[in-house]
Amino acid sequence: MGMTITEKILARAAGKTSCTPGEIVEAGIDVAMLHDIGTTGIQGPLKELGITALPPSVEVVIIPDHFVPAPTAKAADNLKLTREFAKKHHVGSYYEIGRGGICHQVMAEKGHVRPGEVIIGPDSHTTTYGAFGAFAVGLGVTDMAIGLGLGKLWFKVPPTVKVVLQGKLRPATAAKDISLMLLKELGTEELSYKAVEMTGRVIDELSIDGRMCICDIAAEMGAKNCIIPPDKTTLDYLRARTAKPLSSLASDPGAAYEEIKEFDVSTLEPLIACPHVPTNVRPVREAAGAKIDQAFLGSCTNGRMEDLRIAAGIIKGKKIHPEVRLIITPASQEIYRDALKEGLWEIFIDAGALITNPSCGACFGGHLGLLGEGETCISTANRNFIGRMGSPKASVYLASPATVAASALAGQIADPTEYLK
């Protein structure tokens, strides 16, 4: 019987010719990503394991991104510890503040993600790297320390659910709307500890930015990993960023899927996740009119060039509603620079928006845009749990860059369709 992409990757990493769902394998780790929270979190487990040196077989990448620049003395201490750890272990791929950005974006931009590899990170949205055909999973700090320190980790091979997306997106919809649709349809339990393989015409036509968005939000569905078969789009992107050899792999024709789910997005309209869970999804038109205080465009989900261009196209020549603050946080320094060259920052600043440095920032409630009691924010991020962005008495809606931009102009939740005519 043939194997899925996920099964092929785990079999290769475990030195086996094949593996099947439910089997326990000990897989070698190709890449380990750390950020300023993860690096501090693994210190205790590494000490308990007696590990003083990291195995050379693992490519280690450290990207401070959550509390940058440090908003508190404690955060500054954590960043100092992160730098010291990188220096102690001779980590060549360390991206200091001002030279990196959000970890999941920088990992791809700098060529640390490649098809067929096993990648681990102390962050649930490590699933993002599946957009490049990698088996990428988020781990707790103990498992992260074991995988990093020993260069290998056991995994239970997940069954694979194949998701086929057909049709053609409407002008006002994008990858974020697809992600919200899948959250609504599949919930948070159906895909628990399963591999999700995204295929179909819609996936084939999506940009790298759109693919990363979908794989990122797969974490909210409970998936173990999300993977997109690498194609020319994938390889062209990575060849410009790494000199390392790239492989193109696909599931076998006879691969056994636990289930195949098909969706046609031709009639998909702009969607929004209402408070206080990402699966509370409905059409934007049903939530239209709800007053907002803040609009946030950024995060590892939607802080990329494609997202900024979409928002700029809607906002150009207009003004943000006087009672709304629009905060824009690019996903990386590279994106910051490219947006500056394209004149996007001028469009946003003229409209009355605030541009911040690349960071996780407001998304996870760290800094750069927290909410006060009773305030409401519409955000392009991936989570809207109670207290996620500040006060537990605040409300967060999740939507696409187009919907966030339109709402920032209107001062209330607004359907972007009207702004794209």
Give me the mean pLDDT over the 119-126 stretch.
97
Sign of the CA dihedral with 400 first, then 404, 405, and 410 last: positive
Give me the mean pLDDT over the 112-121 stretch.
97
- Own/partner pairs, 114-117, CB within 8 angstroms, 24+ separation: 114/30, 114/238, 114/242, 114/244, 114/246, 114/247, 115/230, 115/234, 115/235, 115/238, 115/246, 115/247, 115/248, 115/249, 116/8, 116/9, 116/12, 116/247, 116/249, 117/9, 117/30, 117/31
Burial class of residue 323, CB neighbours in 10 A (0-12, 13-18, 19+): exposed
> Residue 421: pLDDT band by 50, 70, 90 thresholds?
confident
pLDDT tens readout for residues 298-309 = 999 999 999 999
Report d(CA 264, CA 283) in Å as an integer.
16
Q: Which of 15, 20, 22, 12 is nearest to 256 (CA)?
A: 20
In 343-382, where does DSSP find H-type helix? Answer: 344-351
Question: Residue 58: its pLDDT value, please?
Answer: 97
Residue 260 near residue 162, CB atoms below 8 Å: yes
Report d(CA 8, CA 154) in Å as an integer.
15
Residue 160 near residue 6, CB atoms below 8 Å: yes
* Side chain identity at residue 105, one-letter code: Q
Q: Which of 402, 400, 408, 297 is nearest to 358 (CA)?
A: 297
| pLDDT above 80 for 294 | yes
Report d(CA 359, CA 68) in Å as an integer.
6
Report d(CA 164, CA 201) in Å as an integer.
8
Question: Residue 74: its pLDDT value, please?
Answer: 96
* Side chain identity at residue 104, one-letter code: H
| pLDDT above 90 for 337 | yes
Q: Which of 56-60, 99-103, 246-250, 386-390 has the lowest mean pLDDT?
A: 246-250
* Side chain identity at residue 169, one-letter code: L
Q: What's the pTM?
A: 0.95
Report d(CA 311, CA 416) in Å as an integer.
10
Burial class of residue 391, CB neighbours in 10 A (0-12, 13-18, 19+): middle
pLDDT tens readout for residues 41-81 = 999 999 999 999 999 999 999 999 999 999 999 999 999 99
- DSSP 8-state class, residue 200: S
Query: Could you give the 3-state DSSP secondary structure of residue 273?
Result: strand
A 10 A CB-CB count for 129 gives 31
Question: Residue 180: its pLDDT value, please?
Answer: 98
Non-local CB neighbours of 224 within 8 Å, separated by 6+ positions: 137, 158, 193, 194, 195
> Residue 1: pLDDT band by 50, 70, 90 thresholds?
confident
Give me the mean pLDDT over the 197-212 stretch.
97
- DSSP 8-state class, residue 53: S
Report d(CA 100, CA 26) in Å as an integer.
32
Percent of the chain whose pLDDT exceeds 70: 100
Q: Which domains does the chain have, with CATH numbers?
A: 5-263 (3.30.499.10), 271-420 (3.30.499.10)
Give me the mean pLDDT over the 118-124 stretch.
97
Q: What is the mean pLDDT of the chain?
A: 96
Percent of the chain whose pLDDT exceeds 90: 98
Residue 13 zone, left/alpha/beta (φ > 0; ψ -120 to 50; rest): alpha
Is the model more confident about 419 or about 380?
Answer: 380
Report d(CA 125, CA 383) in Å as an integer.
11
Report d(CA 334, CA 263) in Å as an integer.
34
pLDDT tens readout for residues 130-181 = 999 999 999 999 999 999 999 999 999 999 999 999 999 999 999 999 999 9
Non-local CB neighbours of 48 within 8 Å, separated by 6+ positions: none
A 10 A CB-CB count for 184 gives 15
Q: Which of 195, 272, 270, 208 is nearest to 239 (CA)?
A: 208
Question: Residue 50: its pLDDT value, please?
Answer: 93
Non-local CB neighbours of 92 within 8 Å, separated by 6+ positions: none
- Provide DSSP, 8-43: HHHHHHTT-S---TT-EEEEEPSEEEE-HHHHHHTH
- 195-199 and 294-297 strand pairing: unpaired
